[in-house]
Chain A
């Protein structure tokens, strides 16, 4: 088996005096798709922030490609949730992808042929070529998220972090965007850590799930983790997991919502 691209060891994350989770061990191998599930405030997004070097761990360590994580690794791609109010609405699709290509460099973006070809190939890879000159504000949520995937691919990532990338999308767009991410991780072999409140759109794609609840966690295949016994133990409350027509419905999970606090940590 190949070396893990991401390796989390005995990690503990705190927000003020509150421990979000502790003792977390997680390895992600190249090409592996791991979904991160759990209630609001369980520390899903904070885990991504810790991997991005934006939120230091209370203890333990996170290594990316063998080295401790630091702020701004170009080999980590990041796909945020689609939001209607972003200033990115002011630009065109191809300019959003271009930010991923060379937005970190100083100076003006000089229109070289190499740059144009790079942007065109990324747009092509996510099927966004035909609307690349339309202002982002005029695109649907699904179209915008395809551009986000193209933007994340720009750094030739070995790991892609997705923070609710399907949030506020309709069902059809959810399928299209998750299949796009799935296809590229198979073709390009990058690991995916996919934070989502609903596992169903990616249920057929994920290799493993990490379920965070009440400061505890469980990692395993969906079949191992998404059961009434496991989740009841995690939540320390009776939880029913119902499977019907290939979908998973979780009933009775107490919402340990401290959403606001988490939000403050997310945007310091």
Chain B
């Protein structure tokens, strides 16, 4: 028992470790902001499954990047963007999108496994692409994550209103001349970038815990266009930074910590949201008439 515990949580020499891994924590914070923000649109556009599909192709790209020496970040971005564009172009409607995603996903995973099998390097690096890792994020990698996350956040802020219109109310948005299709493709590209960035920390299998769970939690307790994105960013950042800090001294990958915090936040929001809804229904039903 105590063995397990010290494997999971070991805070000896914590200060020294913290100093050593402050780049990872910064990366977690940057990623939390970008992931939490784009997660709101992933929810309103019903793209949770597509995120999972993109992440498997991103994994294939990262593995290929490793094998051919192009670089893991570059490879995963390339894989992500290709998957995002394919899903965006072929899957305008939810039903088609789901089948395209389901077709792409095992193919990407298979390609990734092939590349990793051929790669002669360390096994932990291979495993990390799928399940996340707490390796020291060096300065160039932190720089790359910051630039990618910055592009995602900036892109979302610029097209915030038309993208919200097109996501929440596509029929009227199209009637008003909003370029619904163009926005959708640009959004998929940003989503591809966000997925590629998330994979570097939490791994391909657990990207949903950053790009979906925090936004889903925020939507349980708020409908406000201001508070949903703010809460979602806060939840994603707390999950990532908290997960990294708990994982610092352990020998376990970072992802179980991140996914557990993210899941617990969702559970709490779900319970709190139900109480709020009941109260609000009781409070408003009397005054609301047809």
Contacts and interface: CB of A to CB of B under 8 A. Distances in A.
Interface string B158-191: 1111101101111111111110000000000000
A148 B175 CA distance: 13
Interface residues of B, number: 36
Interface in B130-180: 157-162, 164-165, 167-178
Interface in B115-129: none
B223 interface: yes
B288 A87 contact: no
A173 B175 CA distance: 24
B225 interface: yes
Interface stretch (A100-108, A182-190, A247-255): A100-108
Nearest to B158: A106
A172 interface: yes
Nearest to A134: B284
Contacts of A54: 174-175
Interface stretch (A6-14, A73-81, A195-203, A210-218): A73-81
B157 A108 contact: yes
B12 interface: no
A46 interface: no
B19 interface: no
A235 B87 CA distance: 44
Contacts of B93: 267
Contacts of B2: none
A173 B290 CA distance: 6
Interface string B261-290: 000000000000000010011001001101
A130 B287 contact: yes
Contacts of A108: 157, 160-161
Nearest to B166: A103
A118 B185 CA distance: 32
Given A87-B46, A130-B288, A134-B284, A103 B161 contact: yes
A96 B167 CA distance: 12
B178 A143 contact: no
Size category, A interface? 35 or more
Contacts of B223: 90-92, 95, 135
Contacts of A267: 93
A105 B168 CA distance: 15
Chain B CB within 10 A, most for which of A80, A98, A134, A139: A134
Nearest to B175: A78
B8 to A, nearest CB: 37
Interface in A114-134: 130-131, 134
A86 interface: yes
B44 interface: yes
A103 B173 contact: yes
A161 B178 CA distance: 17
Interface in A167-185: 172-173, 176
Contacts of B169: 86-88, 96, 99, 103
13 contacts: A52-B174, A53-B177, A72-B178, A78-B176, A90-B43, A102-B161, A103-B178, A109-B161, A109-B225, A131-B288, A135-B223, A142-B290, A176-B290
Which 7 residue pairs spanning A and B have beta carbons closest together? A72-B177, A103-B165, A78-B175, A142-B290, A135-B223, A131-B288, A99-B165
Interface of A: 52-54, 70-74, 76, 78, 80, 86-88, 90-92, 95-96, 98-100, 102-109, 130-131, 134-135, 138-140, 142-143, 148, 151, 155, 161, 172-173, 176, 267
